[in-house]
Structure 1
Amino acid sequence: MSGQGREHRREERAGNEPSAGTPGAHVRRVLLTVHTGRHDIVELARTSAARLMAGGITVRLLAEEADDLAIDGAEVVPGDEKAACDAEIVMVFGGDGTFLRAAELARYTDAALMGVNLGRVGFLAETEPEAVEETLSAIERCLYRVEERLALQVDVLDRDGDVVGGTWALNEVSVEKAERSRVLDVVLAIDGRPLTSFGCDGVLCATPTGSTAYAFSAGGPVVWPDVEALLLVPSNAHALFARPLVTSPNSVLTVAVPPDGNTARVSADGRRVVEIPDGGRVDVRRAERPVRIARVHASTFGDRLVAKFGLPVRGFRDARHLGPGHELFTSRTVLSRDVVTGDGRVLDADADTHIDGDVGADVVAGEVGGAGTRDDG
């Protein structure tokens, strides 16, 4: 399984084990990957590194970031495929772009990715800046779990069926037209069987993790990360049947480009590009190696959806009383219409209950015993 359905938990070290500073003891390493273009991110990375090193953990930096971070006592390594070797965690300070860059470094190691979101949305990151101390404490005590997320393996073949290139992706693979002024003609096949053909701007093959990224913008479904599946999402297709598709995780998704059509290329996570030969095709399947993501907090994927998109969590009848922008204040649940307070307590709507709080408390308290009962239509 992938995602949250397949978790590994690091347990706290026993008190009689040697510390990291003891000769012969296992040295714990954390590789930092940082968006160094912002001063606040650099400062947070520095203070976090100091906290980790004070706890006996070795901090490792990428050579291209070391001068900007200027962290004394840190290891410095080249930013290549060996950067995360022997590291326990790759800790990411930045947005989803920085996280995807870090995923490249951890790809062929056992290191788990742990992100501190300092971008605009940050679906991949585990921690917001205000919870960094809690996250660092969990790393020190090995109190985190590791999710294995499904990744994609991509093979690019020429018209003779020979593999001429390849790559991988955590979020999505985009088969794109090379010339913006022309439509891209494609033929889609699932498990070697032709399905349909049309003209389009491109076709996305995505993972559940990537369902909230490019595929989401193209009209694809939101898929919980513990669901094992592959997604195929056409982009601006000229066809009546061009719906997003969800297939088995063991399927092979094929996007073929006719030899007399527009030239095309593959973009993986927006970071790696492979050209598609004329008349060639792209085969996308589940990768053998998943991506490991470390989690500390108990929030669910649904919680993150609500927080990231500011989703209303009340029925429209309740929302009208406080107006837009107050969806997360004291309210009623949509199903039971019980009152949910800001601290998560659930109060029976039929009880004679006084609700404390300065925003909308009088209105909601009045509804409990008045017009807003379970019997209203």
Structure 2
Amino acid sequence: MRFGIFSNSNRDIGYEVAIKIANRLLSKNVAPVFLNEQKCSLLDDINGVVYDDFKGCSLIISIGGDGTLLSVISRFNELDIPFVGVNKGSIGFLSEISCDVLDEGIDKLITKDYQILERAQLEAKVYDKNGNLKTTEICLNDAVVTRGSKLHVINMDLTIDGALVEKFFGDGLIVSTPTGSTAYCLAAGGPILMPSMRNMIVTPLCSHTLNNSSYVTDYDSIIEIEMMGSETDAIFCADGRQAINIEPFDRVCISMCNRNVKTIVLGYSSFYNTIRKKIIARGSFYESRKE
């Protein structure tokens, strides 16, 4: 059996957690697999470490924060194997294993004492005003259209399933999955959905109207955001990755991706207990940074 391991060295200083996991796996006759890009003397000192791609691995362990896990999923989801996060970030909504239960968590992975949660993803396509495809992005959390460097409000038409829902003036729109409902969507006042649900959420950013409500759509809905106005200055971003510029009369089409993400659930906490603890921790984290 082989487990893939990806460690964010900016979070996992000196590969401390990665080394602990590798040694734990080897003690249970499981091969720890690291990518060649992570090859270093700290890992070389461990007898039995394998440098390879993640093909043939039973699962992938991501060490870092939610951003690290999102990046790992984006890179390797086509392998169709489950992912699990070990939290070395600030909050870690998506991370299933905390460092205080590291050995126990790894043992559960080895004995397959877990459940698989399939999370829906978005497929977002950006077209120019002539209908030419500019980019296609897959995202687990959210696709965001927001104002650019000029800091002016932007003018957009929001269409769902071919029906014009509203002409929007404001800072932008967030389209999120149930998984992403606890991220940017939550910060913007959107609803929280169970991650097993199959809906999309459209949440406005600083709407310049009296209506500031989110829309929850069906799984098979198609959401279109068309940039209106000849002086539109906006950007599009998927899961916080590098933004691309949106030009006047460009169109963003968002639907559910036909490929889900398999994530591992170890059952340390229920979803709502996790929400409560993480939101409290998030507030404490930012308060401590002010001091």
Identity %: 28
Residues 94, 115 of structure 1: 8 Å contact kept: yes
Give the Cα–Cα distance (whole angstroms) in 1 for the partners of residues 74 and 132 of structure 2.
26
Q: Pick from 22, 41, 51 the counterpart of residue 76 of structure 1.
A: 51
TM-score with structure 2 setting the length: 0.90
Q: Does 1:33 align with 2:33?
A: no
The aligned amino acid for 1:234 is P
How many pairs does the alignment contain? 280
Change in CA separation of 1:187 and 1:173 when aligned onto 2, cut-off 3 Å: same
Q: Does 1:48 align with 2:14?
A: no
Give the Cα–Cα distance (whole angstroms) in 2 for the partners of residues 222 and 261 of structure 1.
34
Give the Cα–Cα distance (whole angstroms) in 1 for the partners of residues 109 and 100 of structure 2.
16
Q: Does 1:58 align with 2:28?
A: no
Counterpart position of 2:131: 161
What secondary structure does 2:158 align onto? strand
What secondary structure does 2:39 align onto? helix
Listed as ranges, the matches of 1:80-95 within 5 Å are 83-95=53-65
The aligned amino acid for 2:27 is A
Counterpart position of 1:141: 111
Change in CA separation of 1:31 and 1:142 when aligned onto 2, cut-off 3 Å: same
Can you give the 5+ residue segments of structure 2 that lack an aligned partner in the other structure?
Answer: 285-291
The aligned amino acid for 2:173 is V
Counterpart position of 2:206: 236
Listed as ranges, the matches of 1:1-377 within 5 Å are 28-38=1-11, 42-67=15-40, 69-71=42-44, 72=46, 73-77=48-52, 83-310=53-280
Give the Cα–Cα distance (whole angstroms) in 2 for the partners of residues 290 and 39 of structure 1.
28
Deviates more, 1:158-167 or 1:116-125: 158-167
RMSD: 1.9
Deviates more, 1:242-251 or 1:29-38: 29-38
What secondary structure does 2:173 align onto? strand
The structure with higher relative contact order (CA 8 Å, sep 6+) is 2
Give the Cα–Cα distance (whole angstroms) in 2 for the partners of residues 179 and 262 of structure 1.
11
Give the Cα–Cα distance (whole angstroms) in 1 for the partners of residues 12 and 193 of structure 2.
35
What secondary structure does 2:155 align onto? strand
The aligned amino acid for 2:17 is L
Residues 234, 243 of structure 1: 8 Å contact kept: yes
Give the Cα–Cα distance (whole angstroms) in 1 for the partners of residues 124 and 148 of structure 2.
18
Residues 96, 265 of structure 2: 8 Å contact kept: yes
Can you give the 5+ residue segments of structure 1 that lack an aligned partner in the other structure?
Answer: 1-27, 78-82, 312-324, 326-377
Give the Cα–Cα distance (whole angstroms) in 1 for the partners of residues 68 and 6 of structure 2.
7
Change in CA separation of 1:110 and 1:39 when aligned onto 2, cut-off 3 Å: closer
Larger Rg computed on CA atoms: 1
Change in CA separation of 1:42 and 1:277 when aligned onto 2, cut-off 3 Å: same
Deviates more, 1:63-72 or 1:157-166: 63-72
Q: Deviation per CA, 1:165-194, whole angstroms, max 9, x where unpaired?
A: 211100000112222422111110001211
Deviation at 1:259, TM superposition (A): 4.7
Give the Cα–Cα distance (whole angstroms) in 2 for the partners of residues 202 and 254 of structure 1.
13
Runs of 4+ in structure 1 deviating by more than 4 angstroms, as ranges, are 38-41
Deviation at 1:125, TM superposition (A): 0.5
Relative to its length, the structure with more helix (as a share) is 2
Change in CA separation of 1:195 and 1:266 when aligned onto 2, cut-off 3 Å: same
